[in-house]
Homo-oligomer: A and B are copies of this chain.
Amino acid sequence: MYSYVLLINTRDEQELVHKITGVISKCGLNIINNNEFVEKERKRFFMRSEIVGKFDKEKLLEELKKVLSEKAEVKLVENKKKRIVVLATKEHHCLGDLLLRESYDEINAEIVAVLANHNDLKPLVDKFDKPFYCVSTENKEKHAQEKEVLDIIEKYNPDYVILAKYMRILSPDFVEHLKDRIINIHHSFLPAFIGANPYKKAFIRGVKIIGATAHFVSDDLDDGPIITQEVISINHEYSADDMKKAGREAEKAALAKALKLVFEEKVFISGNKTIVLG
């Protein structure tokens, strides 16, 4: 297994690969996997390298600075489990799936806490011995409730916050505070059926395929860079409720795949899109 991932996101220019691999050689690193991508529209260069061995991290970053433009974003990330806080409401399927995967090391993360606005999921979380917080939204101002949620989150200092069917719209402040660190699973094939009750809408529209979308959360509802999408074929026999149940499988799969990719440092955010390397 690799012990570090080097992530470079910079303006595209000539000879970048040669220059960067030159630095890597100079610093005595052993690359075991390497991927590059040039996004032509935005003229951006992305590179992801899995590195093993002992080396001087400061020196590596310093040498890279010399060959890259000033504004280049360079990250050298140790390959260790991400700390995550999961937010949910009443639906169990995504949360249960994550708890199981976490307990068998399938997503490179540690669930440090679970928070919900109802108590329904407490028994499930208890099974896996994780702290569970219920922060109700009833009789509370949105701002006050979010403050409470944020305080709990910050106590755990997580790398990411996962909305595993957390059925609340977050305020721009909340989102800004955790910029690029909130991942949501939306229960439709975005951008179809934005907003509430997508399965009801899908039923009324008579679609033949339903889907789910895992994405980073940005200010706009159901917007933000898409990481993964999954679909499931249905037919006229499905009621709105059947769709909802079938859709759970797509939701679980899309979220689990997205988290695996993000937590293995394979996902770059580029404007409103994601670049997935490695």
Which of A's residues lie within 8 Å of B, judged by CB?
Answer: 14-15, 17-18, 21-22, 24-25, 30-40, 92-93, 96-97, 100, 103-104, 106, 124, 127-128, 189-193, 204-209, 211, 225-231, 235-237, 239, 245, 249, 253, 270, 272-276
Contacts and interface: CB of A to CB of B under 8 A. Distances in A.
20 contacts: A17-B17, A17-B31, A18-B21, A33-B38, A37-B237, A92-B100, A96-B100, A100-B100, A103-B124, A106-B245, A127-B127, A191-B193, A192-B192, A205-B272, A208-B228, A208-B229, A209-B229, A235-B276, A236-B273, A249-B253
Nearest to A128: B127
Given A21-B21, A92-B104, A207 B236 contact: no
B34 A36 contact: yes
Contact of A21 (B15, B93, B275): B15
A229 B208 CA distance: 6
A25 B97 CA distance: 45
Given A21-B18, A21-B21, A96-B104, A209 B192 contact: no
A39 B274 contact: no
Given A25-B18, A100-B100, A206 B36 contact: no
Nearest to A188: B192
Contacts of A236: 37, 39, 270, 273-276
Contacts of A35: 35
A167 to B, nearest CB: 17
Q: Which 8 A-B pairs have the closest CB atoms?
A: A206-B273, A18-B21, A192-B192, A127-B127, A208-B229, A209-B229, A96-B100, A236-B275
Given A96-B104, A189-B209, A22 B18 contact: yes
A4 to B, nearest CB: 17
Contacts of A227: 208
A190 B191 contact: no
Contacts of A228: 208
Nearest to A202: B191
